[in-house]
Structure 1
């Protein structure tokens, strides 16, 4: 092809908006990345925004691809869509090349091509279980929001058909709009910044709505912030419109609250214009709705004050404000916790930190002259896992499933050495019987079947059922192998199973096999060059 693979080169190149371009490229290549999951996965990579972050995430998704440096003479041999690295004096970025014709059509852009290109293997897809789970969760949330919105609209429509006053219907309609806008306002306050919110807020201010809502003036009174007060107000108004108006007019219920809201709107506009000197588009929107409602009420032929409706409105407001306050705090904490988790994930995905912690762990005692027959994977792999397990240990079964999944996902990168719990004193012990049977079958079977032998065992964990499939072999003397497993367990002071070692050192307690998955591509590169820890 006239290309050469690149490793160190792509590690050093920083790109702008890498995750967005990569996300769109994967979609065009036929994969289905969830936007939020993919963004979090790649941006929490310790090397982001280098191309190493992208290549590692692609490997985690089992996607076969090429990251190479080539020239225009070889573009006909690339698979498309491809990602071309554009390098300008001030910055660099990735550009999606959809077909070979793009090289000519967008010659001006691609004239700054550095020669680095990433392209997928034919029919190769990026697939991660967590990505699929995130997509299903997002779909369920959208369905819930649609159902909730349809219910609100249905209730409003049904109630409006039984109201003769156009003024009350208009107040109810603007109240429902205010309710939806208040949801966005409170979402922004607790830290959930959707694309729609960013676009709306960005239209009024470069800093968005955050600058206004984070100001001391927006802290509110008794924990009731302007956003929470707005949501509670319009929720109360909607409840009054749906359930109370048969007995009272909506105007009589809301006249005093609307006047109070009007005063708050004036104060809000003054604060944004002269104190904060910045604008919140969502706040302006809520203020406009409240102002329109107040004008409708003040110009109504039904204008009048009745104490009882006002007290009913106040009672509903007070009943709703505390649960809504707790919900907003709960969502705020959840978003904060998610942010902290992403930071922690980024820390755990840093290979240098992992290796530093691994160096401080216990060194495994092993006899290099003895060859264990329970070996799975590539014996020349740079990543060597050793697992101490018990034949009847459910966590060990889970660990084996995870490790075999990693071996399949990263072919050629991992060697797995299995050590089995084997009491030597009691030959009738069920653990001894299981270990002897596994070792005996393994000694008479092709080494390529070891993985299947162990997978079947940990799926069944029943000696009689397992022997029905694997027991038809000649009995061998496995006492030497059994003794090796026993001595290894004793010398390494194994007190619990599964205990996992990586390249001769115990895995740090802060890490599990799921964490190791994101580290494998980097560990393979580092250990493949270094040879050992």
Structure 2
């Protein structure tokens, strides 16, 4: 498997693969970016719960059950389960597409291709927890156009950077072949390509120092092989020199090497310097191979590739120096200074960046653990129980969105002209839409006075609910809160109410009295089942509890 293929496969998890396979089979429009973000942003990722909640966003309801003694054929396909081969360190998720006639067809988590095996063989690797799927009403991805644009821009940015580097290499190679003749030209081309390859491999070694557990790095470094283990070699006692790891030394060496070859292709002065350096570093090949073979007794595939590159450089250097005996006069102090400064700069950059990048990775890990604790329902409920409670009943007040008979209720106290209230509206509406057991009660702070600009808007919304019902007022709320300009005249023309507005004064006054009794001082004020939302939580976080 090539590095590019390994990267393309390992950058996405088995969870992503089964979800994308299912969505494609159902002809659901989605983006890889949107699906991957939905999975990885889940506080329980990677888990069956993260798959369940992610698929729900695409209109696919699901329920996890214990297979027990039931036959696979009694379950409607497709369904999701986890399997584990004997040589796998952990279980992986798969999707079963066919279960009939004593055979099972499932998506191989390693190859991402359908596999047919007998039921008995599948039974041996199955973990017996099945996620049943309701695929009758799938829906396309929310914000599909926006996500497609972001994904396209991200891919374009990545490809452009790769194309620019390749173009620079090709331009330098072309310059060498058109401005230099004979063996020096081929030696210059060899140095250019070998330094480029060395930079790529040493960058992977740097990546290994930052994130040892990255699936792509683990695959490149030998996967499940006991003899191939980059981490064992790179974390050994001899894996550093002068307090700096050999990975950093190698990166600085090849980065400076490549930059000088790119900027000064086949220049005699720089060719001489790098020829000398290539010969000086050649003994390191013997040290590295012996240390891995006889001391560690494990091999680092990336390190071995680096040794091959260093060996090729030594051969190129020998050929170049043997063909150019008069070259020492072409080397000037300028060439030495540029080489030294470039090497030191990359050495300092890598040595400084690695701890910062490692801390950033650890920070993301700790953040996920913190969110898992923060979004624990028991902790959230304990904090709710300590917050202020609703002391005045609000059963007949305001506008109700969602199932009026739902067990759970969110009260939103708001001002129709309040900016934060407008931002909270779509979040709460989506929450209610996705949870039939949740209702939203909206109570307004309007005074009912004629000179209060809030009064006509609130009266209008109440009149719409009274005359047309909950679905009409939900659409009217969207029109009002999602509008960038709160223009009541335009709203009034779209929803003509005639004399129904005057009938709402009593309702407005009742809401006003409730707000006074509850001592509402700011909007929006949110209550969850009669308890005020703690200050440390935001409306956008409520989706983690409902």
Alignment of 1:190-205 (within 5 A): 190-191=210-211, 194-202=214-222
Tell me what 1:504 maps to: 530
2:177 counterpart (121, 139, 161):
161
Tell me what 1:98 maps to: 97
- Contact conserved, 1:186 with 1:228, CA < 8 A, in 2? yes
After alignment, is 501-510 or 394-403 more displaced? 501-510
- Contact conserved, 1:390 with 1:498, CA < 8 A, in 2? yes
- Contact conserved, 1:237 with 1:254, CA < 8 A, in 2? yes
1:412 counterpart (411, 419, 436):
436
Q: CA deviation digits over 1:475-520, x for unaligned, max 9?
A: 3333332222223323333332222211111223333233222331
2:275 counterpart of 1:261: no
Say which SS state the counterpart of residue 98 (structure 2) adopts. coil
2:203 counterpart of 1:183: yes
Tell me what 1:243 maps to: 263
Say which SS state the counterpart of residue 477 (structure 1) adopts. helix
CA shift for structure 1 position 230:
1.9
2:53 counterpart (50, 56, 72):
56
Instruction: Structure 1 unaligned segments of length 5 or more: list them.
Output: 1-16, 521-533
2:22 counterpart (17, 26, 30):
26
Say which SS state the counterpart of residue 478 (structure 1) adopts. helix
Q: CA deviation digits over 1:403-454, x for unaligned, max 9?
A: 112223x152320001112246x64122344334433444343233221121
2:138 counterpart (98, 109, 124):
124
Tell me what 1:213 maps to: 234
2:475 counterpart (452, 456, 469):
452
- Contact conserved, 2:420 with 2:523, CA < 8 A, in 1? yes
CA shift for structure 1 position 126:
7.4
> Equivalents in 1 of 2:137, 2:211: separation in Å?
39
- Contact conserved, 1:363 with 1:505, CA < 8 A, in 2? yes
Rate the CA distance shift 1:139–1:278 in 2: closer, same or farther, 3 A: same
- Contact conserved, 2:169 with 2:262, CA < 8 A, in 1? no
> Equivalents in 2 of 1:351, 1:77: separation in Å?
31
Say which SS state the counterpart of residue 98 (structure 1) adopts. strand
1:376 counterpart (401, 426, 447):
401
2:53 counterpart of 1:37: no
Q: Which has the higher contact order (CA 8 A, sep 6+)?
A: 1
Say which SS state the counterpart of residue 197 (structure 1) adopts. helix
After alignment, is 342-351 or 398-407 more displaced? 342-351
Tell me what 2:379 maps to: 353
Two-structure CA RMSD over aligned residues (Å): 3.9
- Contact conserved, 1:396 with 1:497, CA < 8 A, in 2? yes
Rate the CA distance shift 1:284–1:247 in 2: closer, same or farther, 3 A: closer
CA shift for structure 1 position 160:
3.5
Q: CA deviation digits over 1:320-367, x for unaligned, max 9?
A: 444455554554343333323322333334322322222222212332
Tell me what 2:110 maps to: none
CA shift for structure 1 position 27:
5.3
> Equivalents in 2 of 1:294, 1:86: separation in Å?
49
Say which SS state the counterpart of residue 417 (structure 2) adopts. coil
Rate the CA distance shift 1:214–1:144 in 2: closer, same or farther, 3 A: farther
> Equivalents in 2 of 1:237, 1:219: separation in Å?
21
Tell me what 1:109 maps to: 121
2:439 counterpart of 1:439: no
2:463 counterpart of 1:467: no
> Equivalents in 2 of 1:85, 1:339: separation in Å?
24
TM-score when normalising by structure 1? 0.79
> Equivalents in 2 of 1:259, 1:212: separation in Å?
24
> Equivalents in 2 of 1:136, 1:349: separation in Å?
33
> Equivalents in 1 of 2:292, 2:505: separation in Å?
82
2:316 counterpart of 1:296: yes
Rate the CA distance shift 1:271–1:115 in 2: closer, same or farther, 3 A: closer
Instruction: Structure 2 unaligned segments of length 5 or more: list them.
Output: 1-12, 105-117
CA shift for structure 1 position 21:
7.3
Say which SS state the counterpart of residue 482 (structure 1) adopts. helix
CA shift for structure 1 position 290:
1.5
- Contact conserved, 2:212 with 2:231, CA < 8 A, in 1? no
- Contact conserved, 1:25 with 1:81, CA < 8 A, in 2? no
TM-score when normalising by structure 2? 0.77
Rate the CA distance shift 1:340–1:123 in 2: closer, same or farther, 3 A: same
2:370 counterpart (336, 339, 344):
344
> Equivalents in 2 of 1:206, 1:120: separation in Å?
45
Say which SS state the counterpart of residue 390 (structure 2) adopts. coil
- Contact conserved, 1:378 with 1:412, CA < 8 A, in 2? yes
> Equivalents in 2 of 1:192, 1:28: separation in Å?
33
